[in-house]
């Protein structure tokens, strides 16, 4: 595309306004906004009314529009808009991680079928350029792992807890008052948002297109004062860490869980609403990306970068997905967790393979031991119990041995 690109923006909230600003300030990008679609006719706008439409079809159907920029806050509507735009031969730039994670395979097929491009750098870790890096830069290298802090809201809350001694409830309220957390914060504090981003990362790091429902996520909302005290005593912070690990030539595992993080971990100093990504590769070794994971201008800058990439006809090629030797996803791994519980009865749900620490007190108990991810997934129901919390110690993740003898905790305690 050498001519000026005509953009149709759908959504003019935090990201839409940020993008509009960034577009006006950026020099050298050949792009004009044709129209902006929003929902609420009565909302006051910062730019004149003639820029707006209330019907997405005015943009999707217009022969004038080359690129549909979808930045609304409703993933079901976003799916309808994005699929209609791709089918109409429009390139699409989107920031909607939930919509992408839930429909990625279908959307990729659509973009191929209609010979257009679908880009989404802003969907994962805001301004940090991680998707195109995983797709292009780590193309030929064995990627051992990708992990990090992908959710600014939960990181803000954890920072307030650790730096200012706030309780979880007060820290959440502060995040809500400052506009970092939604009224219903489940997606952020329950680890869903981080999981959607992890699924997008897995597509570009390992060529895996997964249904997010298959991936284990456990958030920060059940962390108790006991867990925080334990972490402090050991010199750790707790961070919500989505993790993807390549276990061997063929298998990758993914999960989202709180993790103890020591001072020697890059993530220790990623505080407040910031994001960080650690990529570990065979030749490049460990690399760390740090930056703003949200906000109008940072996220707008990632959208702008995608628009700019379209000026030279850039498209994700999904090379790792298309290669012959496919990678598969497994939950058959063993990891070490800290489990805090109150009621002994709950323990029968956790099948530990080994136990290295046990603590019993009148107020709470905890156990540190190894367990398989598939057994943790089986315990998902009981993990909804507010008196239970789990934290990944981060010390070891290995393929589970088939012949591992699983001890029920009752056996282990009796030993
Ligand atoms: N905020 C961030 O920092 C950030 C960072 C990374 C990714 N994202 C992603 O970017 C997207 C946008 O987030 P945001 O924070 O900018 O949301 P937001 O501030 O809540 O704004 C949403 C915008 O979408 C419009 N909208 C909603 N439904 C619509 C519909 N059916 N048709 C047309 N317009 C519609 C709203 O219209 P009205 O103005 O009329 O209400 C509003 O302008 C989301 O997918 C989000 O996950 C956000």
Closest C-alpha to 259, from 169, 339, 337: 337
* pLDDT for residue 402: 59
Structure tokens at 176: 């809500």
How many Å apart are CA 360 and CA 369, to the nearest integer? 15
- Please identify every residue annotated as catalytic: 197
Ligand 1 mutation target, pool 8, 10, 13, most atoms within 8 A of CB: 13
* pLDDT for residue 120: 98
* pLDDT for residue 95: 97
Nearest CA to ligand 1 atom 33: 38
Nearest CA to ligand 1 atom 30: 39
For residue 65, report the distance from its CA to the centre of ligand 1, in Å: 20
User: Over its length of 415 residues, how does the chain's per-residue pLDDT go in tens digits?
Assistant: 557 899 999 999 999 999 999 999 998 898 999 999 999 999 999 999 999 999 999 999 999 999 999 999 999 999 999 999 999 999 999 999 999 999 999 999 999 999 999 999 999 999 999 999 999 998 777 899 999 999 999 999 999 999 999 999 999 999 999 888 888 899 999 999 999 999 999 999 999 999 999 999 999 999 999 999 999 999 999 999 999 999 998 999 999 999 999 999 999 999 999 999 999 998 889 999 999 999 999 999 999 999 999 999 999 999 998 887 889 999 999 999 999 999 999 999 999 999 999 999 998 899 999 999 999 999 999 999 999 999 999 998 888 875 443 333 333 333 3
Helix, strand, coil percentages for the chain (3-state, nearest 5): 40, 25, 35
In the chain, count H helices and then E strands: 14, 17
Ligand 1 mutation target, pool 8, 71, 193, 298, most atoms within 8 A of CB: 71
* pLDDT for residue 21: 97
Q: Helix H segments across 270-393?
A: 296-311, 319-322, 373-378
For residue 116, report the distance from its CA to the centre of ligand 1, in Å: 23
The answer to whether 304 and 19 are in contact (CB under 8 A) is yes
**Ligand 1 residue neighbourhood (C-beta within 6 Å):** 10-16, 37-40, 43, 56, 71-74, 77, 95-96, 122, 126, 294-295, 299
Structure tokens at 260: 């103890």
Identify the burial level of 13 via C-beta atoms within 10 angstroms of its C-beta, where 0-12 means exposed, 13-18 middle and 19 or more buried. middle
What element of type H or E holds 78?
helix 75-87
For residue 71, report the distance from its CA to the centre of ligand 1, in Å: 5
* pLDDT for residue 325: 83
How many Å apart are CA 322 and CA 341, to the nearest integer? 45
Q: Which atom of ligand 1 is nearest to the CA of 40?
A: 40
Query: Global pTM?
Result: 0.95
Q: Which atom of ligand 1 is nearest to the CA of 38?
A: 34
Nearest CA to ligand 1 atom 13: 73
78, 177, 222 from 173: Cα distances, Å: 29, 6, 16
DSSP 215-249: SEE--STT--HHHHHHHHHTT-EEEEEEEEEE-SS
Identify the burial level of 362 via C-beta atoms within 10 angstroms of its C-beta, where 0-12 means exposed, 13-18 middle and 19 or more buried. exposed
* pLDDT for residue 407: 38
Ligand 1 mutation target, pool 8, 12, 15, most atoms within 8 A of CB: 15
For residue 38, report the distance from its CA to the centre of ligand 1, in Å: 9
For residue 404, report the distance from its CA to the centre of ligand 1, in Å: 48
| Phi and psi torsions of 177, nearest 5° | -65, -35
């Amino acid at each position: 595309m050498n001519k000026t690109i005509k953009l149709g923006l759908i959504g003019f909230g935090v990201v839409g306004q940020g993008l509009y600003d960034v577009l006006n300030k950026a020099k050298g990008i050949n792009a004009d906004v044709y129209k902006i679609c929003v929902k609420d006719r009565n909302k006051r706008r910062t730019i004149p009314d003639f820029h707006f439409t209330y019907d997405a079809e005015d943009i999707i159907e217009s022969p004038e529009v080359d690129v549909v920029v979808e930045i609304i806050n409703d993933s079901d509507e976003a799916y309808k808009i994005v699929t209609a735009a791709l089918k109409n031969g429009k390139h699409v730039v989107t920031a909607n991680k939930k919509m992408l994670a839930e429909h990625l395979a279908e959307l990729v097929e659509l973009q191929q079928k209609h010979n257009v491009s679908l880009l989404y750098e802003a969907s994962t870790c805001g301004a940090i350029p991680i998707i195109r890096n995983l797709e292009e830069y780590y193309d030929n290298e064995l990627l051992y792992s990708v992990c990090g802090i992908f959710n600014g809201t939960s990181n803000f809350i954890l920072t307030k807890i650790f730096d200012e001694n706030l309780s979880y409830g007060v820290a959440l309220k502060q995040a809500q008052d400052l506009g970092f957390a939604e009224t219903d914060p489940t997606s952020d504090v329950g680890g869903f948002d981080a999981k959607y981003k992890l699924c997008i990362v897995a597509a570009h790091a390992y060529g895996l297109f997964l249904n997010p429902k298959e991936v284990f996520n456990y958030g920060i909302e059940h962390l108790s004062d006991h867990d925080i005290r334990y972490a402090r005593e050991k010199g750790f912070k707790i961070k919500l860490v989505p993790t993807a690990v390549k276990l061997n030539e063929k298998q990758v595992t993914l999960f989202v869980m709180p993790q103890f993080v020591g001072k020697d971990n890059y993530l220790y100093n990623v505080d407040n609403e910031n994001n960080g990504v650690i990529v570990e590769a065979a030749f490049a070794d460990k690399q760390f990306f740090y930056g703003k994971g949200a906000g109008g201008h940072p996220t707008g800058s990632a959208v702008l970068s995608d628009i700019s990439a379209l000026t030279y006809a850039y498209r994700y090629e999904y090379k790792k997905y298309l290669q012959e030797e496919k990678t598969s996803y497994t939950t058959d791994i063993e990891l070490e967790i800290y489990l805090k519980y109150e009621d002994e009865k709950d323990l029968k749900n956790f099948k530990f393979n080994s136990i290295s620490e046990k603590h019993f007190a009148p107020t709470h108990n905890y156990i540190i031991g190894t367990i398989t991810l598939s057994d943790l997934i089986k315990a998902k129901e009981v993990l909804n119990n507010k008196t239970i919390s789990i934290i990944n110690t981060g010390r070891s993740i290995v393929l589970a041995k088939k012949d591992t003898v699983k001890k029920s905790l009752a056996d282990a305690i009796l030993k």
